[in-house]
Amino acid sequence: MPEQQPAADWQPTAFENPPPNIARVYDYLLNGKDNYASDREIGRRIEQTLPEVHLGVREQRAVLRRVVRHLVGEAGLRQLVDIGSGLPTADNVHQIAHAIAPATRVVYVDNDPVVLAHARALLADNRETVVVAGDLREPAELLADQGLRDHIDFDQPVGLLLCGILHYVLDEEEPARIVRELVDALPSGSHVFVHHLLAAGDADAAAAEAVLRQGVGRARFRTMDQVAAFLDGLALVDPGVVTVSEWRPDADTPPLSASPVLRLAAAGVARKP
Ligand SMILES: C[S@@+](CC[C@H](N)C(=O)[O-])C[C@H]1O[C@@H](n2cnc3c(N)ncnc32)[C@H](O)[C@@H]1O
């Protein structure tokens, strides 16, 4: 049978080439395969604006690994809720946690259907890990989710992971109130991790923020003080809110001086007294 050619006026449908989205642009920047042409176009614009962005996203994953190791290995937490978990990649949160304590309960939350489908496929036979559809901007709904409540014991400390997500919550959506509502629901001894892109006050940061905002519809980089304020009322874990390279670096963590891109992200962990 001859191969059918599309009609001359054929256009890809939204399903075949959906608009760019946060999870898939990030996947592209991590050299993943789960992205479409529209995501790659935004990814390439970010690469042009910020040529060392790949180091930045690699170090985002690296600090997430170090934090999970700390929360499970040192703080002794056995429950993690990862909001804005993203597309599965190497060294996912549940894998890091289970390498230390196999019974650690992990809940992945995301509002992207593609992320949810991939995560569910990956985790089909993992009883300690569940995937929940939820929006960080609707904390009350999220906290009421039955899947979350069935898996997490709210009388035991929880590690709340907000890695690379709060900079997609706009000021008018009240990110500080959202964090407070989530933290209020957690018992003493719980920990919160925030990774956040920084408004470093220079042209690079402003340009990267503008490309993201244009490409995926939203982005709000904040100052180090604004990021630290998300953890107000909690006890900061050493070394506090710092650039990603400075948060408990491993021997192979690139120092802050290794690249200007490393100035553009902060990380901090705090404990609920
Ligand atoms: C840049 S990725 C970060 C993935 C992972 N946490 C990491 O740091 O490697 C941001 C993720 O947050 C999700 N996300 C963005 N806004 C969200 C919201 N309001 N509620 C839930 N998930 C959201 C996106 O779908 C995406 O998967």
What pLDDT was estimated at residue 3? 42
pLDDT of residue 1: 40
Which has the closest alpha carbon to 268: 218, 228, 221, 226?
228
- Three-state DSSP class for 17? coil
Confidence of residue 7 (pLDDT cuts 50, 70, 90): low
The answer, yes or no, to whether residue 4 has pLDDT greater than 70, is: no
Can you give the pLDDT at residue 184?
A: 98
> In ligand 1, which atom is closest to the CA atom of 161?
6
Q: What whole-number distance in Å separates Cα of residue 209 and Cα of residue 188? A: 35
Average pLDDT over residues 214-224: 93
Whole-model pTM: value is 0.94
The dihedral built from the CA positions of residue 84, 89, 94 and 99, taken in this order, carries a sign that is: negative
Atom of ligand 1 nearest to the CA of 30: 9
Looking at residue 137, what is its pLDDT?
98
pLDDT in tens, 76-124: 999 999 999 999 888 999 999 999 999 999 999 999 998 999 999 989 8
Please give the torsion angle defined by the CA atoms of residues 130, 86, 123 and 74, in that order, rounded to the nearest 10 degrees.
-70
Instruction: Please report which helix (H) or strand (E) contains residue 165, including its range.
Output: none
Q: What is the pLDDT of residue 8?
A: 54
Most ligand 1 atoms within 8 A of CB, residue of 165, 172, 179 to mutate: 165
- Tens digit of pLDDT for each residue in 177-217? 999 999 999 999 999 999 999 998 888 889 989 998 998 88
Closest ligand 1 atom number to CA of residue 82: 6
- Which one has a higher pLDDT value, 125 or 58? 58
Ligand 1, atom 23, lies closest to the CA of 84
* Ligand 1 pocket, CB under 6 A: 22-23, 26, 60-61, 64, 83-86, 110-112, 115, 135-137, 163-165, 168
pLDDT at residue number 164: 98
Give the single-character DSSP code of 7.
P
**Closest atom, ligand 1, to C-alpha of 168:** 16
Given the CA of residue 21, which atom of ligand 1 is nearest to it? Answer: 25
Give the pLDDT score at 234. 98
Nearest CA to ligand 1 atom 20: 135
Burial string for 153-181 (b: 16+ CB within 10 Å, else e) reads: eeeebbbbbbbbbbbbbeeeeebeebbee
Ligand 1 mutation target, pool 42, 82, 168, most atoms within 8 A of CB: 168
Whose C-alpha lies nearest to ligand 1, atom 11?
A: 84
State residue 94's pLDDT score: 96
pLDDT band at 2 (very low <50, low <70, confident <90, very high): very low
- Say how far apart CA 100 and CA 95 lie, in whole Å: 9
Task: Count how many Cα atoms sit within 13 Å of the Cα of residue 230 in the half-sphere of its side chain.
Answer: 32
May I ask the CATH class of domain 22-271?
alpha beta
| Closest CA to ligand 1's atom 27 | 86
